[in-house]
Amino acid sequence: MTGTTLDDYTDRYARRVRGMTASEIRALFAVASRPEVVSLAGGAPYIAALPLDAVGEMLGRLAADHGHTTLQYGIGQGTLELRERICEVMSLSGIDVGCGASPEDVVVTVGGQQALDLVARLFLDPGDVVFAEGPTYVGALGVLQAAQAQVVHVPMDAEGLIPEALEAAIADAARAGRRVKFLYTIPTYQNPTGVTLTEERRERVLDICERAGLLVVEDDPYGQLGFAGDAPAPLRARRRDGVFYLSTFSKTFAPGLRVGWILAPHAVRDKLVIASEAQILCPSAYAQAAVTTYLSTMPWREQLKVYREVYRERRDAMLDALGDLMPEGTTWTEPDGGLFVWATLPDGLDSKAMMPRAIAARVAYVPGTGFYANGSGAGNIRLNFSFPPPERIREGVRRLAGVMEQEIAMRRVFGPVAGQAAGRRRGQAAADVPGPDLA
Ligand code: PMP
């Protein structure tokens, strides 16, 4: 096969690979990582808030003193010690023995991303419908697209997923004779909107899914990163049947270790382990030992408070800057936790078309189109506040506001700018393959 070009592979690709093209904004993200650019685009936690010396020492000892196990293969489900610790972490959110959570039913994964992929592998045939919030996590769209599922977005408002819209989507699918396998939802401090599903709606959404025989895949990487007290209890704390609970240590400890998990209904736990073994044999023994030791010997509850405090301050910096600087007609969410604000641009502005001009002005964001499978979202942007310090956040918002003012002025003079409708073509956004900047 030496000397072949990329094109020579085209007719060999599996069908599921066809829609897998990198989005055009990917190239811009390479530029966005330059130091002169304020990136409000990523989803990276502020790792400098960790006690890195102590973590480093712990990692060194794990290899030097325990290398015969930590550098060895492990079992597919993940170590019992870590699964026990995971149950302790979940109990902070109200998922405990009382609602049937047990280490037996936890499967350790390579980050939350593998957890999503496993659930998709287990349940999705090509053409199956999956409901997801509109907008939703770009990495979930990548997984669902690879599984050749059809994503139907269910609209949200400031209180999260709209139950009536979910009912309508179920009725539409039934009328069309489509098989819906599950609802994928991020009910708490959602990525990308920062919105939290209210207490009352949690019960309604669960009731609706139960009645319709829909499984619920609850993705909860941010639930313990609340700024104003505890979030409403997860869906899994309310129902033990039919709810898959997915989470990760990526946001509460360190994404570089790539450790996440699924708490699965007991009946499917074995299938998940078999599917995971086929993918990865076993999760990294070293990374699992690192997380287990972190949770058993280091002040991880205190660290959660540190993260919350840093992010609360940065959220405030972002909301203040948006309030002071954004052009009239811009609106945004006010998250009580998590890492992101979702902004709606003044009428007529197109977030994807504006991106090159924003990069030229040395600020980056993620255009809203990345978070929809159907090309919606051109009027929105996702802004991250966890990584840049407060003064950089303000500077980034100032630059962004300048770009938006210019766009508005240009539109006044010339009308809609050429190429603006490009991002609205159906199906295009599903190709926004997740990368580190889109986490
Ligand atoms: N789910 C959601 C909602 C996320 O935001 C992310 C990461 N940004 C993930 C899953 C994946 O997490 P991990 O880095 O642990 O794979």
- Is residue 115 within 8 A of residue 260, CB to CB? The reply is yes
Bridge-based pairing state of the strands 340-344 and 363-364? unpaired
Name the DSSP class of 314: H
pLDDT tens digits along 248-280: 999 999 999 999 999 999 999 999 999 999 999
Which is the closest atom of ligand 1 to the Cα of 249? 15
Distance CA 148, CA 129 (A): 9
Cα angle: 113, vertex 116, 118; to 5 degrees? 110
Containing H/E element for 159? Answer: none
Which is the closest atom of ligand 1 to the Cα of 248? 15
Which amino acids bring their CB within 6 angstroms of ligand 1?
A: 43, 111-113, 137, 139, 186, 191, 219, 221, 248, 250, 255, 260, 439
Q: What is the DSSP string of 273-313?
A: HHHHHHHHSS--HHHHHHHHHHHHHS-HHHHHHHHHHHHHH
Question: Given ligand 1 and candidates 219, 249, 384, which is best to mutate, with the most ligand atoms within 8 Å of its CB?
Answer: 219
In the chain, the amino acid numbered 432 is: D
CA 415 / ligand 1 centre spacing (Å): 39
Distance CA 371, CA 381 (A): 10
Own/partner pairs, 293-299, CB within 8 angstroms, 24+ separation: 293/58, 293/62, 294/55, 294/58, 294/253, 295/85, 295/88, 295/89, 296/81, 296/85, 297/58, 298/51, 298/54, 298/55, 298/58
Buried residues in 278-309 as b, exposed as e (16+ CB within 10 A): eeeebbbbbbbbbbbbbbeebebeebbeebbe
Question: Given ligand 1 and candidates 47, 89, 113, which is best to mutate, with the most ligand atoms within 8 Å of its CB?
Answer: 113
For the chain, what is the largest distance between any 2 Cα atoms, rounded to a whole number of angstroms?
70
pLDDT means per 10 residues, the chain with 439 residues, are: 68 82 70 90 94 97 97 98 98 95 98 98 96 97 95 98 98 96 98 98 98 97 94 96 97 97 96 98 98 97 97 98 98 98 97 94 95 96 97 98 96 70 40 50
User: Which neighbouring-strand residues pair with 184?
Assistant: 132, 217
pLDDT at 88: 97
Q: Which of 227, 36, 191 is nearest to 116 (CA)?
A: 191
Kindly report the protein residue whose alpha carbon is nearest to atom 8 of ligand 1. Answer: 439
- Is residue 366 within 8 A of residue 428, CB to CB? The reply is no
Kindly report the protein residue whose alpha carbon is nearest to atom 7 of ligand 1. Answer: 439
Kindly report the protein residue whose alpha carbon is nearest to atom 6 of ligand 1. Answer: 439
pLDDT tens digits along 62-89: 999 999 999 999 999 999 999 999 999 9
pLDDT at 25: 65
pLDDT at 8: 77
pLDDT at 419: 46
Question: Given ligand 1 and candidates 86, 114, 137, 190, which is best to mutate, with the most ligand atoms within 8 Å of its CB?
Answer: 137
**Which pair of tokens denotes residue 86?**
């995971």
CA 40 / ligand 1 centre spacing (Å): 17
CA 195 / ligand 1 centre spacing (Å): 16
Tell me if residue 380 falls in helix, strand or coil.
strand
Question: Given ligand 1 and candidates 138, 188, 251, which is best to mutate, with the most ligand atoms within 8 Å of its CB?
Answer: 251
Which is the closest atom of ligand 1 to the Cα of 439? 8
- Is residue 89 within 8 A of residue 221, CB to CB? The reply is no
pTM: 0.93
Mean pLDDT, the chain, integer = 92
pLDDT at 32: 80
